[in-house]
Amino acid sequence: MKSLITGATGFIGSHLAEALIQKGHDVRCIVRRTSDLTWLKNLPVEFVEGDITDRDSLIPAVQGADYIFHLGGITKAKKESTYFKINADGSRLLYEVCREYNPVVKKIVHVSSQAAAGPSSANRPRTENDPPQPLTYYGKSKLEGEKYAVEYSKFLPITILRPPAVYGPREKDIFIYFKLIDRHWKPILGMKKKYLSLIYVHDLVDAIMLAAENPGGLGQTYFVDDGRIYSWADLSDGIKKVMDRWTLPLFVPETLTVAVAYVSEFFSQFSSKPAVLNRQKIIELRQQAWTTSSEKIRNELGFVSKFDWQRGCEETIKWYRENMWL
């Protein structure tokens, strides 16, 4: 079996590449000339130089692929238009090329994000039946990408997955939280208790491959999480337990985060990279709940999570320590 991955150089994509190789797939990865191949360079994969915004480069990438896993996209950008060019228009272009040059593909898995649906209320997780209400450029562009996936599912076998926050080995954003607790700080943003759903990266990879192998789910959208709801206190307590650390509370007023975001964006003007903490990210962080229900994918595709936060946290910290991140 030949599998094509977009976004293979990233955190989730690199784990997916490893898992597919272990299952005997021939893996093809679309990479840019400037891509960081750290997690792929020692794997037996085929590299195709290209970009999901470059139609001509997508043609040889999709040809002959039995499965296509679309994870390519961006989470940060300096301009609103960049989010839509890559996350939305890139998806449309990929499916347009696939329809023309590989209409017999067995399955396409479109990996989106909870950001496309928006936050939840504190007492009720989001379901697939709730109208999407994305808040940020990222979320809106991911929703637009989903709409193209649904549109092309009339011609191609596409299934859409919406993971919430994803953590595990190689992850760099939630890692900051691990690092602060390792240094004895427990950050607390705002006064209200905040809730979220999570999924460990290996569980997400299992769900992605399950969606590819299962003949069902065509044109369907699924939230995929570990089946539990956590508070940020649950996360910090889990990390403290594994690391055996005491912590001091670090109260961060929400107004301060906005000011920091403005400063970060100002200095990013003098860099080729977007600000790590920008106003768009602050919009997400200030929400009281980002929780989801994975009941649909469990009932329809048979997904079963193997990692709760405690087990996933242990594996993640072990990797961070072995690789000198902590």
pLDDT in tens, 48-66: 999 999 999 999 999 999 9
Axis-axis angle for helices 175-182, 309-322 (nearest 10): 80
Q: What is the pLDDT of residues 154-201, one digit of tens each?
A: 999 999 999 999 999 999 999 999 999 999 999 888 878 999 999 999
Torsion of CA 106, 86, 10, 130, to 10 degrees: -70
Query: pLDDT grade, residue 267 (50/70/90)?
Result: confident
- Percent of the residues in the chain that have a pLDDT greater than 90, as a whole number: 87
Angle at Cα 297 formed by Cα 29 and Cα 145, nearest 5°?
50
Q: Please report, for the chain, the start and end positions of each structural domain, with discontinuous segments joined by +.
A: 2-166+200-226+291-306
Say what the pLDDT of residue 59 is: 98
Distance between CA 63 and CA 57 in Å, rounded?
A: 11
Residue 84: its pLDDT value, please? 97
Residue with token string 């037996």: 44
**CA proximity to 222, closest of 271, 149, 141, 173:** 149
* Residue 279 contacts residue 265 (beta carbons within 8 Å): yes
pLDDT range class, residue 216, cuts 50, 70, 90: very high
Please tell me the pTM assigned to this model: 0.95
* SS3 state at 144: helix
Most confident listed range (35-49, 181-195, 241-255):
35-49
Maximum CA pair distance of the chain? 58
- Write out pLDDT tens, residues 305-316: 999 999 999 999
Residues 54-113: pLDDT tens digits? 999 999 999 999 999 999 999 999 899 999 999 999 999 999 999 999 999 999 999 999
Cα 43 to Cα 45: distance, rounded to the nearest angstrom: 6
Q: Which CATH number fits domain 2-166+200-226+291-306: 1.20.1440.230, 3.30.360.10, 3.40.50.720, 3.30.450.20?
A: 3.40.50.720
Q: How confident is the model at residue 115 (pLDDT cuts 50, 70, 90)?
A: very high
- Mean pLDDT (the chain) is 95
What pLDDT is attached to residue 252? Answer: 85
